[in-house]
Chains A and B, each alone.
Chain A
Amino acid sequence: SQASRGETQIAAGAELKSKAEPWSLLRPLDERDRSDFLSPVFRVLYDGQGGTPRLQPDSRALRYMKRLYKTYATKEGIPKSNRSPFYNTVRLFTSCAQRKRAPGDQATGSVPSVDLLFNLDRVTAVENLLKSVLLYTFSNSISFPSAVKCVCNLVIKEPEFSSRIPSRAQSSFNFNLQFEIKKKYRWFEVDVTTPLRPLVASNKRSIHMSVNLTCERGQGQDSSAWDKPFNVTLLVPPSLLLYLNDTSAQAYHGWYSLRYKRRPSQRADQNGGLSVCSKGKGSAEGVRSSRHRR
C-alpha cells in the first residue's frame, strides 16, 4: 500500500507537473524529468554523462547542511535513530533575487527589509511539508551578553508577473519571535511553516516575500550591559529551509519501521517472568543505572 500510494501520488504529481516516472528509462530524460536523487542516477547510467553543470550553492548554506548531515547520519551514511523519524528530506533554498528595500536602523536594531524570491522547483509532488524556517546567519561570528528579542514581519507576495492581482492579495504575517543568542552563535531560525504550508501544498513553483526583522535590547538590560548594539548589518539575507516527508516508495520511512518494530521490553513482558525483577533489586539497579547515566 505504501508503494501503491506513493505511485498514485507520483502519477498525480505527473499530471500536475508532467514529470516522468523517475524509474522509466523508456524515453530520454530531459531537464524537467529530474524529480529526485535517484532519477539523476538513472540519467547518468542512461546517457553516461557525469551529470549536467550545476549552479554552485552558497558556501554558508553548504556548511550548514554538512553540519545537519553529520547530525542526522553516520560517516557511512546510515541515518541515526536520534533524529526526528518524521521527515526524510530537508531542502535548503537560497534566494535567487534579493532586493533591500528600507535601510536598517542601527539604533532600534531593525534589519534592512529585504525582498526574497525562492524557486521551489525541486520540491516534488510526493514531498509533504512538515516545517519551514528562514535561516539567518551572521557574516562573522559575534557574541551577545544575553537573549535578544525580535519581531519578524513577513509579507508573502504574488509573483511579479501576476501584477493584475490587486495588492490586497498580498498576505502579511506578524511574528513575535523570541530567540536566544549565545556566544559564537552563527545561526538562528524564524519558523514560517504557517504561511508557507498552503503555498508548498499547492505546488507553488516560486515564493516571493519581504521580511522585516526588528530586534531590541533584552528587557531590563541597562545600556551598560551591551558592549555594542545589536549590529543588524551583520545579518546575511536568510535561506529557506523546508523539512519534508517524501512519501514515495524509494524514500526511507523511519517512523514506519519504528512503529512496527516490537521493543524487547514488550517481548519480555509477553514472556511474563523475564521482565519481573524483585522490587528492591530493580529499584537499586534503577538508581545505580540512572546515577551511572548522570
Chain B
Amino acid sequence: KKRFLNMLLPPDRDKNGQVVLDRTETTAFARRSLKWRLIGEGYSSQLSIEEQTYAFKLAFRMWSEVTPLDFEEDTTSPISQIDIKLGFGTGRHLGCAHTFDGEGQEFAHAWLQSDIHFDDDEHFTAADTENGISLLKVAVHEIGHVLGLAHSHRRGSIMQPNYIPQESAFELDWSDRKAIQKLYGSCEGPFDTIFDWVRKERNQYGELVVRYNTYFFHKSWYWLYENRHNRTRYGDPIAVLIGWQGIPASDLDAFVHVWTWNQDASYFFKGTQYWRYDNENDKAYTEDTQGAHYPRLISEGFPGIPSPIDTAVYDRRIQSIYFLKDSLVFAFDINKNQIVDHFPKRLTDVFPALVINDHPIGNIDAAYYSYTYNAIFLLKGKEYWRVVNDRERWQNPSLPYNGLFARRNISEQWFDICNVHASMLKM
C-alpha cells in the first residue's frame, strides 16, 4: 500500500480530527467549536490579565449567543491548535506586517479566521463608564471580522469602522445577527420543554394584572424569550439550577400550569416524578398547602398516567392535561383526577394532520401553549406543528378540532435561542 495515503485526512475531518462541515472556500470557519487564547507575549500593560480575559470571554459569548458557534478559552493546547489568538502590541508588534500607529486613530485589527491585535498605545478600559475605549466593544467588533464580517456603516451595527462611545450597554442588534447567521446559520432545537410562566401582579391602581414570560429549556440551561423583541434575553442561557430552585437541574420532560377558577398550580416533570413550584417563594415545594410532599410519583398524583412521559400540556378548554408518550396521548381531567374516557388515543387522532403525510407521529419533545399566539405547539427536533385554535375554527369551520398545520422550522418562529460553551454558562 502507498503509505503516504495514510497521511491524508478523510474528506470530512480537519488536521485536528474534528468534523468539518464544509470544505468549500468561504469566509466562514468550517468548524462550529473554536478555541481562543490571549497569548502570553501579548498582554496589555494597562489592564490586569483577568480583566482582559473576562472582556474577551464575554465578547466571544455574545457572538455565541446568536450563532451555532462555541468558543472555548484554551490555555494549554499547542498554539497551532488555537483558532483565534488575541494579543496587545504597539508599533511593530507580534510579528505582524501591519504596524500600529501610536495613540489615536487605529485601535485594533483582525485577520480572517485568525488573530486579533489591539494597539496598546490606546487607552482601553474594562468598564463601560470609564473614559477610553471599551475593550469589550472593540473585541466584539474584531471577532466579527475573524468570523467573516466586513465593515458596515449602518447605524447601530457593531461592525461600524469607527469607535462610538457607548451610551448604554451595547448588544448585537437584529441586522448584525442576521449578517453573521448568513455565514453560520441559525440556532435550532431541540428543546426539552417550553412554557409561559404566568405572574399575577398589582399595578399602581391596585388592579390585578396578569403577565407572562416565555421560557425555553434545553439540557441544563434555559432562556427567557422576549416575544416582543423576537430574541432571547441578553445574557441567556442561564443554568437551570441558578434560576429554578428545587427542580432537577437538567433534562426536564415537561411543565404544566393548571389554571382554573379554583386551581392554580405549576408542575415540572422528569422521569417518574414531578415537582410543584411555589410561585410566591420562587422555589419548588417540599410540601404544599394540601400536605403533598415533593418530589412525588407521577403515578400517585396522576393515576393511570405512565412515566416517564415525553411531554405534557394543559388544555383549559377541556380542563385536562394532555400527557404525550410515544405515539399516544392521555387526557387527564384535573377536576375528576382521572383519565378522560376513551383515552389514550393516538397522537394522529387527537391532533389530526391538515396536510397529508405532515405529522410528527409521536415522540414529541415539547408541547407548548403560547399566550402570544393563543395556540398549542408541538415541537420535535428542529421543527414544530401548530394546533388549530378556536378562533381559527370559528372563522373556518372546516378545520378539524386540534388539527395540525404543516411543519415549520423552530428557528423561523423563535429566533436566536443558542447554546454557549459550558465554560461560559456561569459568567
Q: Do A and B come from one complex?
A: no
Residues of A within 8 A of B (CB): none
Residues of B within 8 A of A (CB): none
